[in-house]
Structure 1
Amino acid sequence: MTQRVAIIGAGPSGIAQLRAFDSAKKTGQDIPEIVCFEKQDDWGGQWNYNWRSGIDKYGEPVHSSMYRNLWSNGPKEALEFAEYTFDEHFGRPISSYPPRAVLWDYINGRAEKSDIKKYVRFATVVRWVDYNESTELFTVTTEDLKTGKTASSDFTHVVVGTGHFSFPNVPEFAGIGTFPGELMHAHDFRGAERFAGKDILLIGASYSAEDIGVQSFKMGARSVTYSYRTAPMGFDWPQGIEELPLIDRFEGSTAHFSNGVSRKFDAVILCTGYLHHYPFLPSGLALDSPNNVYPDTLYRGVASENNNKLYYLGAQDQWFTFNMFDAQAWYVRDLITGKASIPAAGDQRISIDAWLKRFNAIETAEDEVKFQADYIRDLIEQTDYPMFDLDEVTRTFMAWKNDKKKNIMTYRDKVYPSVMTGTMAATHHTPWLSELDDSLERYMAPVPSESVEDLAATEKAKSK
């Protein structure tokens, strides 16, 4: 059969795979037939924010965990595409921490320039993927959400680009069923405005808890409490934010913590992570792994040990994001086209075990960043993707962590130089803590048409 590649998902990972094939085509290489299935009406994955929470207009679960007023919580200089810079897209320096709409515009701009939309079937959800050992083909069953029609088609290769931040991990807490206030997982959080004047509890001590809590504080929450399982985040929190150990039990609106402290809350948000869950794959093909920076059973972090024609992009926990997806996609492209080859099963296992040994020796956050930088370097060295200074990106990550330690509420006002172009980011016209408008139009405006005081007055009026 002529090579046919199914790409599941048109978020940053799926778009990276499309870009990789398009890049090869532009150099005169033959590429396979490509079909990308995206269940939303547009691409962008998590960055394609939709106001619908729970169920979309087709009756499908909303897989995005995005929310209003989300700004990048890491420097854009650490995720910049090596072959499509922020300078090229925006034509002028912008700040290091853009809001969601600006990052979506950047992702969309690269994709539109590549003319790859023709490969994507939007509003089409993958229901099931099966593999026939005798024919060595995948049968991909999809549903067109606009028409309701189901269809099946055969492919030689499948690329899973759905990410792993869609299916919440929801632990049990004694008495939580008695809590009378608003209770949700971070996946269903869509904005902090409704928590103004309220006491909220966030269970978790990682990035989603940190950001949702800070966002809620910014939007006027009366108090924000974090409950940690292992260790506190330890930032110098402003008055009104505190960290307490794990919940012992709930009794109505009162949460009892393991150190004997009790607090009453109006809302509880479970920031307890996500599961690797692929409802469209049988168990023999689905990745089964904790969330970490090197999942087992993936050769070079992308090719399934169980079936070397099945690939995962972005299955790792991530320091690096967009440019790591690119490095992975370029390598997967070369595996599919035969420009690169996968070794025998025994050698795959030797490689995986070597990386796992390094992974298990990680002791600090800096070790983990360097580990992921080395992983990306290893992938890029196999392909023609532009190499970039991964050590400098690592230094940017460490500076970012240091800025957060100094002031968790103002780190987004810091600026860094681009690793790709050397351009120093611009200081944003409005400090993040005072900026209540996350639109692309206001962000890009050289002089805001509305003062911070006017914005605050507008938001206050809306909340009445």
Structure 2
Amino acid sequence: MKGVVGKASMSKKRVAIIGAGPSGMAQLRAFESAEKKGQEIPELVCFEKQDDWGGQWNYSWRTGTDHYGEPVHSSMYRNLWSNGPKEILEFAEYTFDEHFGKPISSYPPREVLWDYINGRAEQSDVKKYVKFAHAVRWVDFDEGTKLFTVRVENLRTGETTSDTYDNVIVAAGHFNFPNIPHFEGIETFPGQVMHAHEFRGAETLADKDILLIGASYSAEDIGSQAYKMGARSITYSYRTKPMGHGWPEEMEELPLVERFEGSTAHFKNGEKRDFDAVILCTGYKHHYPFLPSSLALESPNNIYPDTLYRGVVSEKNNQLFWLGSQDQWLTFNMFDAQAWYARDVILGRIELPTAEEQRAHMDQWLERFNAMEDEFDQIDFQCDYVKDLIEQTDYPMFDLDEVAKIQRQWLQSKKDDIMNFRDATYTSVITGTKAAEHHTPWMLELDDSLERYLSEPDEDEARQVFRGQIREGQAR
């Protein structure tokens, strides 16, 4: 039930938010929104181990460990572009039109999306709540006092401190601890072996034969980048089923690798190929080294982790909240919906049901989750989930049925033309603005900077030929 905004006093709670990526930023924005409407809010502290906010979108050239010796969080690479339309992730209360002042394309590059989420956060006065370069080392809960103790290290000084909080919100993400399977003989492979988490650019893959193990979005995108940057061949190795796109002739899909012998990979169907580099696109694990097992989320990566009431409230401890712990068809706006819900529980505007009622509610969603058959079912599931969350709060509702429609069109566009689907345009469900066609087709655009993206370069013949506006023989 929606809470009533007012000036009703509350005991001054203390809330710790772990992570200042898109989810943590959403949580800060949610509390600020309530405060602007006259609601007293708790004392907030957000701990972020990086030097700036943005989470995954805070790109780093580093791999392995950062300059503080901490595991590098971001899995972003230099020339990453959004692999889904921006119209499915747009904030309902801060639009792309508002930020950029003009229509932009449906598939912005990494730097442009970071500018968008940073712009919303900078518009508000929430950075004051963030302690940067502070890594949470341990969180414990005292059943007697009903308080969390959060132990934190200041990475710049090495000082470690502890403090107590009424609530903890985990917004640390779950796409930063790579799942790395073993393949027989891979230790004999003489070329480069890396996980997608360490991938930073495809330029070095030019004129090389590349093996990508995995059949999901990381493999699809890194393979496309490698092709764009001139790789000689790209082979995808799938465990369950091929992606089945209409790949160029330089790209193929084969069953899972059985073993390596030097630079040769042997596949389950008896085929073998020689490669120069292997990239493991094998996903990520939920990994929360700062939490005891009594509090940590234990789940495979999926769109409805069990033990989270409404996908947000820990069944183990209703004072503990999780943001963005699902696999994601929606991203930024789903984080908003979750953050607004967590906020209203903490503010007492939403009263949680009994443990039994929470379990029954989760089981209803799990029954639907377990009955899903395809990607369209997953899209409908998550859009309905977000709609259900928004209905509990004052977050602006938007047309999630239309968002689901755009997602279906997006999937179809990839089946139609996997290498050029980013040239399609969609209409914002928030503003009704039709996306602009980017000045350069994605396959020809080698500069993904914000400056280049927002510029208006002169038309050239290469772009005209690519779009079929003139024939190649007609170009001068």
**What's the TM-score once normalised by structure 1's chain length?**
0.96
Structure-1 residue corresponding to 2:122? 112
Residue in 2 aligned with 1:299? 309
Alignment of structure 1 residues 399-410 onto 2, 5 Å: 399-410=409-420
Question: Which one is further off, 356-365 or 443-452?
Answer: 443-452
Distance in 2 (alpha carbons) for counterparts of 1:277 and 1:55: 16
1:77-106 alpha-carbon deviations (Å, 9 max, x no partner): 000000000000000000000000000000
Assess if the C-alpha contact under 8 Å between 1:13 and 1:313 holds in 2: yes
Q: For residues 269-418 of structure 1, what are the structure 2 equivalents within 5 Å?
A: 269-418=279-428
What is the 5 A alignment of 1:44-443? Answer: 44-443=54-453
Q: Give, in angstroms, the shift of residue 52 of structure 1.
A: 1.2
Residues in 2 aligned to 1:167 and 1:120: alpha-carbon distance in whole angstroms: 23
| CA gap 1:448/1:136 in 2 versus in 1, 3 angstroms | farther
Structure 1 residue 448, shift from structure 2 partner: 5.8
What's the CA shift for 1:55? 1.3
What do residues 142-189 of structure 1 show as CA deviations (whole Å, max 9, x unaligned)? 111111111111000000001110000111111111111100111010
Q: Residue in 2 aligned with 1:21? A: 31
Cα pair 1:205 1:232 within 8 Å, conserved: yes
Identify if the C-alpha distance between structure 1 residues 81 and 303 changes in structure 2 by more than 3 Å, giving closer, same or farther: same
User: SS in structure 2 opposite 1:415?
Assistant: coil
Looking at structure 2, the residues matched to 7 and 419 of structure 1 have their Cα atoms a distance apart, in angstroms, of 30
Aligned-residue Cα RMSD (Å) equals 1.2
Q: 2:16 aligns with which of 6, 16, 33?
A: 6
Q: CA deviation at 1:287?
A: 0.1
- CA distance in 1 between counterparts of 2:98 and 2:411 reads 27
1:63 to partner: Cα distance: 1.1
> Normalized against structure 2, the TM-score is what?
0.94
Q: 1:442·1:448 contact (CA, 8 Å) conserved in 2?
A: no
Counterpart amino acid of residue 333 in structure 2: N
Q: In the comparison of the two structures, how many residue pairs are matched?
A: 453
Distance 1:341 1:324 in 2: 21
Q: CA deviation at 1:452?
A: 7.0
Structure 2, unmatched stretches of 5+, are 1-10, 464-476
CA distance in 1, matches of 2:424, 2:125: 35
User: What SS does structure 2 have at the residue aligned with 1:103?
Assistant: helix
1:461 matched residue in structure 2: none
SS at match of 1:386: coil
Asked if the contact 1:199/1:223 (under 8 Å) is kept, the reply is yes
| Aligned partner letter, 2:41 | I
Measured after TM superposition, the shift of residue 225 of structure 1 is: 0.3
Q: How far 1:413 moved relative to its partner?
A: 0.4
Deviation at 1:231, TM superposition (A): 0.4
Deviation of the 1:54 alpha carbon: 1.3
User: Hey, what's the Cα distance between the residues in 1 that align with 2:64 and 2:180?
Assistant: 16
Percent identity reads 71
Q: Secondary structure at the match of 1:362?
A: coil
Distance 2:96 2:133 in 1: 29
Please identify runs of 4+ aligned residues in structure 1 that moved more than 4 A. 448-453
Deviation at 1:446, TM superposition (A): 1.6
Aligned pair partner of 1:34 in 44, 49, 72? 44
Distance 1:221 1:329 in 2: 42
**Given the superposition, is the C-alpha separation of residues 22 and 265 from structure 1 closer, same or farther in structure 2, using an over 3 Å criterion?**
same
Q: 2:224 aligns to what SS in structure 1?
A: helix
Contact 1:142/1:152 (CA < 8 Å) preserved in 2?
yes
Report the alpha carbon displacement of residue 342 of structure 1 after superposing the two structures with TM: 1.1
After TM superposition, give the deviation of residue 115 of structure 1 in Å: 1.3
Q: How far does residue 451 in structure 1 lie from its aligned partner after superposition?
A: 9.2
Deviations 1:347-371 (A, max 9, x none): 1100010000010010111111000
Partners of 1:402 and 1:296 in 2: CA distance: 30
Shift of 1:2: 3.3
Whole-angstrom CA distance in 2 between matches of 1:66 and 1:129: 28
Unaligned runs of 5+ in 1: 454-464
Letter in 2 for 1:372: Q
* Distance change in 2, residues 1:252/1:426 (3 Å): same
Whole-angstrom CA distance in 2 between matches of 1:432 and 1:203: 24
Contact kept in structure 2, 1:99 and 1:438, CA below 8 Å:
yes
